[in-house]
Amino acid sequence: MLRLLLILACLPLLLFSALAIHAVALESTYRVIDLNELLQPGKHRVLIRIDDRDRRFVFYTPKGFKPGEALPLVFFFHGAGGTAEQAFRTYGWPAKADAENFFVAFPEGLPVRPDGIASFLLNPHIWRDERAGLPASGVNDVRFFEELLDRLETALPVDTKRVYVTGFSNGAGMTFTLGSHFSGRIAAIAPVSSQSFVHTDTLARPLPVYYLTGTADPLILYRGGKVTFPWGKTRTLPPVQESTDTWAKLDGCPPEPQTVSDENGVRVLCYGPGKDGAEVVFTTVEGNGHHWPGTVEPLPHFICGPTLDPFHATDRIWDFFVRHPLP
In this predicted model, what pLDDT tens digit does every residue of 160-171 receive, in sequence order? Answer: 999 999 999 999
Spatial contact of 23 and 85, defined as CB atoms under 8 Å apart: yes
Q: pLDDT of 270-283, one tens digit each?
A: 999 999 999 999 99
Of residues 312 and 68, more confidence is placed in 312
Q: Quick one: pLDDT band at residue 28, thresholds 50, 70, 90?
A: low
* Alpha-carbon distances of 103 from 98, 109, 130, 285, rounded to whole Å: 9, 20, 27, 28
Average pLDDT of span 99-111:
97
Instruction: Please provide the average confidence, as pLDDT, over all residues in the chain.
Output: 90
Average pLDDT of span 87-104:
98
Q: Quick one: pLDDT band at residue 233, thresholds 50, 70, 90?
A: confident
Helix or strand run (H / E) with residue 60: strand 53-61
Given a cut of 60, whether residue 17 has pLDDT beyond it is no
| pLDDT value of position 15 | 43
pTM for this one? 0.90
| pLDDT value of position 228 | 81
Spatial contact of 109 and 124, defined as CB atoms under 8 Å apart: no
| pLDDT value of position 172 | 98
Average pLDDT of span 290-297:
94
Given a cut of 60, whether residue 6 has pLDDT beyond it is no
Residue 318 CA to residue 226 CA, distance in Å, equals 33
Residue 176 CA to residue 186 CA, distance in Å, equals 11
Average pLDDT of span 40-67:
96
Given a cut of 60, whether residue 88 has pLDDT beyond it is yes
| pLDDT value of position 22 | 45
**DSSP for residue 277:** G
113-120: long-range contacts (C-beta < 8 A, 24 or more apart)?
113/137, 114/53, 114/138, 114/139, 117/24, 118/20, 118/24, 118/83, 119/17, 119/20, 119/21, 120/13, 120/16, 120/17, 120/20, 120/81, 120/230, 120/231
Q: pLDDT of 115-141, one tens digit each?
A: 888 887 788 899 999 887 777 788 999
Domains of the chain: 14-322 (3.40.50.1820)
SS3 267: strand
